[in-house]
Structure 1
Amino acid sequence: MSILNIRNCLDPVLRKKCEPVKNIDGNLVALSNDMIETMFDSVGVGLAANQVGIPQRLIVVDFGFDAEKKEDHNPIIIVNPVITAAEEEQDGQEGCLSIPEIVADVPRFKRVEVKGVDLDGNDVRYEVEDYLARAFQHELDHLEGKLFWDMLGRTKRDILKRKFKKLLKEQGAE
């Protein structure tokens, strides 16, 4: 396994709608394992394949992640995930591995049902709420070419974009 390079929000791969996975093979399994290792190394809760430059419908989410303890990892992998039900909206703080050091309150559904396929080709279904519901919605947005700040008003989004570009400039990464 290896740590993959996480693309930042300026990379065009993050703005493209991802293609469905057609075959689950050794390459996809290896990619999934590398994504999990990358997510843990970056202290993230989820990661979409396009965040590491692969525009396919694949996500990993740390299902056992405890935000306060930052422990009890239980990563899950979902191929071709879709949200099939959602209810009750709530605002909550969100960040993104592709937009480091930037956070904002984002409206999301409190509860969602997500369906997809695991690496063995079996159908999977998860009913989650609160923090995990937010994580799933965030990662599925990535697969649609959306970033969390797209959910915000134009003024707030523009402020965050300027702040991010300033951070890049300060780090000499622009």
Structure 2
Amino acid sequence: MQLTIVEYPDKRLKNKSKEIKNFDAELHKLLDAMHPFMIETNGIGLAAIQVNYPIRALILNIPNEDGEQPPENLLEVINPVITAKSGETSYQEGCLSVPKFYEDVTRYEKITLHYQDRYGNTKTLEADDLLAIALQHEIDHLEGILFIDHLSYSRRKKFEKEYKRMLKERKQKK
């Protein structure tokens, strides 16, 4: 399965993803393809919508202390729902769909998440720190929200200007 990243300003990123009802071989094939693709593109999280599958699925593989992302730490999250949230933290986020741009985003410090695994089993996860931040970032994708949508008006205008300049430079190199 060949995957490519859908990049901003592509309108598909603004679509809300649909709930998954079939936990079949097709879903497993997609999840199996998303993990190595995310690692190859230096991501720690990837929502299915980012690879043009508008379904409520995401994967996460938070690096360990050595910066490695062992497969056994992979988290596959289907149909996530945040049921509790507390605290506030700020983290400099980036996104595979908004390459080469990083900004501080305020998120909840701790969350409780209900979701399903690839087989449809219901799970609950309590997350904090980077895991909570990454989950919120990826769940935002499923809602059609990008991390840049959390920026203040002035920071968003600055981003738009810088991003247009970067796209122009990229075109000139081709």
Name the residue aligned to 2:68. Answer: 71
Displacement after TM superposition at 1:3 (Å): 5.1
Uncovered stretches (5+) of structure 1, i.e. residues with no partner: none
Unmatched tracts of structure 2, length 5 or more: none
Q: Quote the residue 1:127 is aligned against.
A: 126
Asked if 1:137 corresponds to 2:136, the answer is yes
Identity of aligned residues (%): 39
CA distance in 2, matches of 1:128, 1:111: 6
**Normalised by the size of structure 2, how large is the TM-score?**
0.93
Contact kept in structure 2, 1:3 and 1:35, CA below 8 Å: no
Work out whether 1:46 is the aligned partner of 2:49: no
Matched, 1:56 2:39: no
Matched, 1:158 2:157: yes
Q: What's the TM-score, normalizing by structure 1?
A: 0.93
Deviation digits for residues 52-92 of structure 1 (CA, Å, limit 9, x no counterpart): 011110000114x23x6320422111110111111001111
**Structure 2 SS opposite 1:172:** helix
Which shifted more, 155-164 or 88-97? Answer: 155-164
Cα distance in 2, alignment partners of residues 38 and 72 from structure 1: 13
**Per-residue deviation at 1:147?**
0.4
Distance in 2 between residues matched to 1:82 and 1:37, nearest whole Å: 25
Q: CA deviation at 1:93?
A: 0.7
Q: How many residues are treated as equivalent by the alignment? A: 171
Runs of at least 4 residues of structure 1 off by over 3 A? none
Matches within 5 A, 1:1-150: 2=1, 4-63=3-62, 65-66=63-64, 69-73=66-70, 74-150=73-149
| SS of aligned partner of 2:85 | strand
Query: Take 1:165 and 1:131, find their aligned partners in 2: how far apart are those partners?
Result: 29
